[in-house]
Structure 1
Amino acid sequence: MVNSFGQVREFFLRTPCASLDRVLLAAVDEQGNPIVVMVAWVGFRTRGDARRFKDLDDTHGTGNVTPPGGALLGIADVRFTGQHYRSRRAGSVTVIAEAEPVGGPVTDEVLDGLAEVAVLLPRP
């Protein structure tokens, strides 16, 4: 899958996903510091495939789904580190969410909170 990297990409070569929806959201903290949140819904043919994908993706350093382009939001160069990451599985779909600051100091608490909420968003 071209929208992934690392071991996650290798996983998709062996176990193709059935669907992929991604969104990039912009937010600000209480001080007005910009934040970007990426959410991806990765659908599989079976719950087992979704579980195996989640297990792999939850392991830091194994790769991930790439975010959609952020040029329209003015955040084309944001690098997602996986430090503010959450995931959940809903049947045969694995939902992943990551948050990163775009500029200015944003607390880990805010970034983690945004990822916790974003992973609960309904699929578009």
Structure 2
Amino acid sequence: HECIPQAILGTDVLCQAKSGMGKTAVFVLACLQQLDASEKAVKTLVICHTRELAYQIKHEFDRFAKYFTEVKTGVVYGGMPIAKDREMLKDSCPHILIGTPGRVLGLIREKDLKLDKCTQFVLDEC
């Protein structure tokens, strides 16, 4: 609860707490609060270490952004064809992208993922 006001104000936050204490909710709410969805570009990049965690985080963004109809989320991770990720980034570029380090790095190296408009970066459990 102590880092919520700081996170919403847009300051850098390093948050550590026990499991189940709401760390994900803190950064999800802070990111949504500051997100400008008027542009078709990745504005928030979240890096996490497993595909399961990536899906959980995407679910939380979708749940909290239920009434932000213009906000799009996407998830990318290794072990799946990269062509689908390229297509998703090209056709329906998400404002919030959650992914694993290897896949995100691969998309950046191949110039499929552009982060010049990215204003928020989250490392979760990395």
User: Into which bin does the TM-score normalised by the smaller protein fall?
Assistant: 0.3 to 0.5
Structure with bigger helix share is 2
Structure with bigger strand share is 1
- TM (normalized to structure 1)? 0.34
- TM (normalized to structure 2)? 0.34
